[in-house]
Amino acid sequence: MPSKNSSKSKKVGVVGVGSFGTAIANMLAEKNEVVVFARKEDVVEEINVAHTVSGRLLNPAIRATTDPAEICEQCDILFFMISSAGFVEVVRRFAPHLYPYHVIIHGTKGLALNLGRDESLESVQKIKRSQLLTMSEVILQETVAVRVGCLAGPNIAKELIAGHPAATVIASKYNEVILEGQKLLRSERFQVYGNSDIIGVELSGVLKNIIAIASGALAGLGLGENAKGLLISRGMVEMVHLSKALGGSVQSVMGLAGIGDLVTTCNSVDSRNFTVGFRLAKGERLDEILATMDEVAEGINTVRIVDAFIKTAGIRAPITENLHRVLFEDLPISDALQFLMKYPFSVDVDFV
């Protein structure tokens, strides 16, 4: 195993150059040399020659590569900023080049399935917690990396790129990972908090996407701010119960990565999940919406996975359950709303 070279300053790596990856790379480049990984040669050439990616400006000091070995050799700290749909594949591609000295911080708000070779979500229908993986669990399962963290919070990429003030949470079981992330990213415009409950922070970022789709649907139906306040408050309660069932803490849901991100995403037309719900309410089919979106709306897959977990765990999550029926069982959104309005909630807050 190659030894860590501490005689010279190491660059920082970013894996993935979507909108969020671009924003994080530019923020990191304010203090450090940055290498980004992209799978396509033409994207790498665009970055290295024009210092842009898909029309977004990149700091001229950022250099790109298609070689996982190269970025792992040059960088001890790697930020994985890729969609959950491709996360396992990319991690497996990087695995032969990662060593225990690497620090990996991901910013992916999604879940993966840990199923048998011939199994799929459609064939198993119900899933246990052991069959469901957060992105940090994917990294730990697929690589020898130990010091793993995640980055989550109300971080709309468009606003980060524009330099608007914002904040995030870096969560890890290792305080060193939190401190490294804070040192690299914190600035006058960007506050970085720490949290040791990495599972809870990951789940908060994942579960709020479900509520964001529903919020977009309410907006698309023109049902007003009272309805949105109702949805966000009931959505927070649902997030708490689901997070606890999946191994997260109430505190993380109540923090920046939970309610902070929830409120932001449920009110942002720049949120992909909000946009999906809005367009569904306007009468578009899910396949039509997905065909015209440049980047993944993580909440769609999250709804499928969490709904399957609910069936196994024996708990009720009415927003998630009814949104699953809207997305995958052709239930009209107006019918789902009527069901939720009649749902027999009897206690406002039941988790404290």
DSSP secondary structure string, 37-103? E-S-HHHHHHHHHHSEETTEE--TT-EEES-HHHHHHHEEEEEE---HHHHHHHHHHHGGG--TT-E
Higher pLDDT pick, 116 / 106:
106
Cα 297 vs. chain centroid, distance in angstroms? Answer: 10
Residue type, 332: P
Give the confidence band of 5 by pLDDT, cuts at 50, 70, 90.
very low
Kindly state the average pLDDT of the residues 108-128.
86
Residue 350's pLDDT is what?
A: 63
Token pair 């050799």: residue:
73
Annotated binding site for NADPH: 19-20, 39-40, 109, 157, 272, 296, 298
- pLDDT (mean) for 264-287: 93
The predicted-structure confidence for 69-113, as pLDDT tens digits, reads as follows: 999 999 999 999 999 999 999 999 999 999 999 999 999 999 999
Token couple for 34: 């940055």
Q: What architecture is the 11-196 domain classified under in CATH? A: 3-Layer(aba) Sandwich (3.40)
Checking if the pLDDT of 2 tops 70, the result is no
Q: Enter the pTM of the model.
A: 0.92
Asked if residue 224 has pLDDT above 70, the reply is yes
Q: How confident is the model at residue 352, as a pLDDT?
A: 47
Catalytic residue among 4, 10, 128, 208: 208
Quick check: 55 pLDDT over 70?
yes
Q: How confident is the model at residue 48 (pLDDT cuts 50, 70, 90)?
A: very high
pLDDT bin (cut points 50, 70, 90) of residue 122 is confident
Name residues whose C-beta falls within 8 Å of residue 267's C-beta, 6 or more positions apart in sequence.
215, 228, 274
Homologous superfamily (CATH) of 200-342 is N-(1-d-carboxylethyl)-l-norvaline Dehydrogenase; domain 2 (1.10.1040.10)
Binding residues: 19-20, 39-40, 109, 153, 157, 208, 261, 271-273, 296, 298
Residue pair 151/170 in contact (Cβ under 8 Å)? The answer is yes
* Residue found under tokens 């649902």: 238
pLDDT at 312: 87
Backbone torsions φ then ψ of 5, nearest 5 degrees: -90, 105
Distance, in Å, from the CA atom of 143 to the CA atom of 132, rounded to the nearest integer, reads: 17
Decide if 282 is catalytic: no
Residue 40: CB partners within 8 Å, gap ≥ 6? Answer: 66
Which of 317, 308, 207 lies closest to 266 in space, CA to CA? 207
* 181 in Cβ contact with 149 (< 8 Å): yes
Determine the 3-state secondary structure of 263 from DSSP: helix
Q: What pLDDT score was predicted for residue 70?
A: 97
CA distances for 8 relative to 2, 36, 180, 260, angstroms = 15, 19, 17, 39
| Mean pLDDT computed over 261-271 | 93
Give pLDDT, residue 349: 62
pLDDT at 176: 97
pLDDT at 4: 53
pLDDT above 50: residue 3: no
Give the residue numbers of the binding site for sn-glycerol 3-phosphate.
109, 153, 208, 261, 271-273
Q: Are 295 and 83 a contacting pair, CB within 8 Å?
A: yes
Q: 63 is written with which tokens?
A: 């250099």
- Domain regions of the chain by residue span: 11-196, 200-342
CA distance 56 to 158: 10
> What percent of the chain clears pLDDT 70, i.e. is strictly above it?
95
Cα–Cα distance between 263 and 256 in angstroms, integer?
A: 10
- The rounded mean pLDDT for the chain is 92
Question: Which tokens is 28 given?
Answer: 């990191």
For range 12-37, the mean pLDDT:
96
Q: Residues with Cβ < 8 Å from 305, sequence gap 6 or more?
A: 111, 113, 121, 127, 132
Q: How does pLDDT run across 125-175, given as a tens digit for each residue?
A: 788 999 999 999 999 999 999 999 999 999 999 999 999 999 999 999 999
The structure tokens listed for 177 are: 């990972």
Residues 314, 316, 319, 323: what is their CA dihedral angle, to the nearest 10 degrees? 30
DSSP string, 96-157: GG--TT-EEEE----EEE---TT--HHHH-S--GGGEEEHHHHHHHHSS--EEEEEESS--H
pLDDT band at 7, cuts 50/70/90? very low
Averaged pLDDT for residues 44-66: 94
